[in-house]
Amino acid sequence: MVSSKGLKSRGAYAVLAAAFLIALLAIPAYAQANRVNPAKLTERLLKSYENLKSFLKGIEERLDQDKVDRIEKAIARADPLAEEAKSLLSSGDADSALEKVREALSIIRSVLKEIRDVDVVREGGRIGMSLRRLAAAAARAEVILRALERRGVDVSNLTSKLQEVRPLIEDARSLLTSGDIEGAREKAREAANELRSIYGEIRSLARDHLNLTREKVLGRVKNIERAAERCVVRLDIAYKKLMRENKTEIAQKVLRLKNGIERALVSLKRHVESGQRFLALGDVRRLIGYFRICRRMGGH
């Protein structure tokens, strides 16, 4: 028998998995709204819409009829809005087009969240999380290789290997978008194996040329952990206060930030304990980014 705690844990994971899947396949409606002009943002969101729609259509054969009906009804509602957005964009009315595509995306996201407990959606979420981590790891590897190259180290072989990893990640993302969970999982596994090999070689070179010692990493980690723990406590207090004041929307933003810091802190400790110093440094960078947001929100 599954305990209520287990059910809550599963439910929380399903929400997280669905959120990561949406983040991977779709650009949030608010994404870079202040930095990208409406026409460009509309084009990107239309692509996001097609990605999410493709994923849902691709998994229909693995769903029961009720969920298939929900998906088809959602698409039937959203497609005219997406087509209207395309028409408005063509006529030069980018602001109205942006509004329409956001409506279409909202409908598709809603149905995806409704079926988030389905195994194929949860697995898609897991793969989505994995692909985000792989892309981040590849980006960190590139930074380290550039630093080594500046030191006069020949990294051409590793650079070539890294260039072969990115297509694997993109292939996995494309397969996931089409609903091919098994194919996406296999490509993600292949990319992970290649990156593991690359990082093994990078460690040896970096020890000799970048002086990334264990003591240096651990010293920085201790300060970061203390700062993260203080930030979490303050955000928790802020969240409870906002909930008492019925400021639910702001409270949820604070909660998401708090949860993000906690996850990054767990990841940091895991990578330090396992000796994965370069991944630990990536966690440190992520936490520093969170701290900046925390300060802007008044929580740190």
Q: pTM of the prediction?
A: 0.54
The C-alpha atoms of residue 56 and residue 185 are separated, in whole angstroms, by: 17
pLDDT reported for residue 101: 92
pLDDT tens digits along 133-152: 899 899 989 988 888 888 78
Two structure tokens written together for 208: 């000799």
**pLDDT tens digits, 221-266:** 777 888 888 888 888 888 888 898 888 888 888 898 999 999 988 8
Whether the CA torsion 26, 31, 35, 41 is positive or negative: it is positive
pLDDT of residue 215: 54
Nearest of 272, 237, 269, 267 to residue 255 by alpha carbon: 237
Sole residue written with tokens 């409606």: 29
Residue 32's pLDDT is what? Answer: 41
Tokens (6 digits) for 235: 């955000």
Give pLDDT, residue 100: 94
- Helix 214-244 crosses helix 248-273 at what angle (to 10 degrees)? 160
**Mean pLDDT, range 216-221, rounded to an integer:** 63
Residue 124: burial class (beta carbons within 10 Å; 0-12, 13-18, 19+)? buried
> What pLDDT, on a 0 to 100 scale, did the predictor assign at position 153?
83
Q: Give the CA radius of gyration of the chain.
A: 22
Would you say how long the chain is, in residues? 300
Average per-residue pLDDT in the chain? 81
User: Is 48 within 8 Å of 102 (Cβ atoms)?
Assistant: no
Instruction: Give whichever of 36-45, 92-101, 268-277 has the largest mean pLDDT.
Output: 92-101
Per-residue pLDDT tens over the stretch 181-190: 889 999 999 9
Q: Is the dihedral of CA 216, 261, 36, 56 positive or negative?
A: positive
At 2 the pLDDT is 36
Distance CA 294, CA 257 (A): 8
Regarding predicted confidence, which is higher, 27 or 141?
141
**Nearest CA among 104, 102, 108 for reference residue 18:** 108
CA atoms within 13 A on the CB side of 263: 12
Nearest-5° angle of CA 126, CA 131, CA 136?
A: 130
Check pLDDT > 60 for residue 19.
no
Mean pLDDT of 265-276: 81
Query: Residue 219 has what pLDDT?
Result: 65
Enumerate helices (H) and strands (E) in the chain, giving the number of each: 10, 0
pLDDT at residue 30, as a whole number = 39
Question: pLDDT at residue 11 above 90?
Answer: no
